[in-house]
Structures are given as structure tokens and as C-alpha cells.
Amino acid sequence: MDVADLTLDELRLALAPGIAEAAVFDGWGDAALEMAADQLGADRDVARLAFKDDGAFGMIAAWIETIDRRMALDLRPEKLAAMKIRERIRSLIQYRLDAVSGQEEALRRALAIMAMPQNVAKALKTGWNSADVMWRLAGDTATDYNHYTKRAILASIYAATLAVFVDDQSEGKVETRAFLDRRIDGVMKFEQVKAKWLNPEREHFSISRFLGRLRYPAR
């Protein structure tokens, strides 16, 4: 499709990867936007129009959305189904880390922008959306309160892992991988304990049964 035929929403996503590459050196601003537009063959003024309402945050959000979409294409539920749940989650997060490898400086600047007071609410929503995509790909179908707790926990794990990732100088990012494994292990243990206590089949203390045994003791 000709770039000129793209809608503004489509153009945002088309520009986002190029903006991220340029943001490593130029930050999330007009310079990166213009470079991405030139590489794509898009009109600079139209490119600016695509981000006129949300500026740098919009560029970052579009970048994250492109990663969400590529992940959904490359790690389909049927591909993950053979894995245990912890491996599904680990693979999904690792995919995202691999997707931004080499762009740590752009990510560092993006995290700083997202942490600004005026952007926190939008950043939380963006993180929630990515966590939702990951859980759906992992096969989650929960509709009760677990739907929300799972996404909140995964979003926090992912955010914490990104914070380690941007400063990780170890070979092959082994420190990040180890950190991620520890966080997932902790969550899995928590889920096991929670499942035990919330299991409706678990035997509970019953006053009526206790009194009945006093009246009719087992022989």
C-alpha cells in the first residue's frame, strides 16, 4: 500500500519503529519523527499531524502497540499451548525484551517520559493493555477478579524487568533473565498458595459437623 493512502492511525504504527530507532540518538521528538518519515517516504507535515495530539507519549504508545501486534502474530496461542504457564509468560516477556534489544537508550528515555506525572495514568493503561495481550495469548479466559489481578501482577513484573533490562550490561542480559525467572517463580508460588486457599473442594471447619460428631461419635 502506498504510504499516502494510509490513515493517520495506520501511519502512526508505520512510523513507530523508525521513530524508536532514531530516538536512541535524538530522543522522542520532532527530529526522530522527521527521520522516520523520511525513511518511510511519508510527508513530514502529515507525520506530525499523526502525533499532534499526544506528542512524545503518542510515539511511545504507538511503538508499544507495534510490539504487541508483532508478538500476537509470532506467538500465537496454539504455539504456546504446549508450554507450562510459567514458560508461556516467560516466553512472552522475553519476546518483548528481544524486540527492543539494541534500543535500550530509546527505552530508557521512553520510561522517563512515561513516568512524568502527567503521563502516569496513560502509562498504566498502556502497561495494562500489554499485559492483557500477553495473558490472552497465554490462554487466560478468567472473567472474575482473577482477570484483573493477573494483569496487574504481570504488568508490574514486566515494568520491573524493563527497569533492570535498560541498565543490564551482562553478557546476553543474563542478569535480566535471572531477575525475570525469580519474579515469575515468586508469582507462581503465590498462585499455588492462593489456589489452595480458594479451592472450593478444600475441607473447611464445620460447626454442625463438629457438633454432630460429638453427638454421634465415630465407632
- What is the largest distance, in Å, between two alpha-carbon atoms of the chain? 89
The residue whose grid cell reads 517520559 is: 113
Check whether 141 has a pLDDT greater than 90.
Answer: no
**pLDDT at site 205:** 46
* Lowest pLDDT segment from 113-127, 183-197, 205-219: 205-219
| Pick from 22, 16, 18: nearest CA to 50 | 16
118 band by pLDDT with thresholds 50, 70 and 90: very high
State how far the Cα of 159 lies from the Cα of 172, in Å rounded to an integer. Answer: 20
| Pick from 22, 119, 135, 5: nearest CA to 61 | 119
pLDDT in tens, 34-84: 999 999 999 999 999 999 999 999 999 999 999 999 999 999 999 999 999
Alpha helices in the chain (DSSP H): 8-26, 30-40, 44-50, 55-74, 77-80, 85-99, 104-114, 120-137, 145-165, 174-198, 207-215
Q: In b/e form, how buried is each residue of 182-204, taking b as 16+ CB within 10 angstroms?
A: ebbeebeeebeeeeeeeeeeeee
Check whether 100 has a pLDDT greater than 70.
Answer: yes
Enter the pTM of the model.
Answer: 0.84
**pLDDT at site 194:** 57
DSSP 180: H
Pick the more confident residue, 219 or 93.
Answer: 93
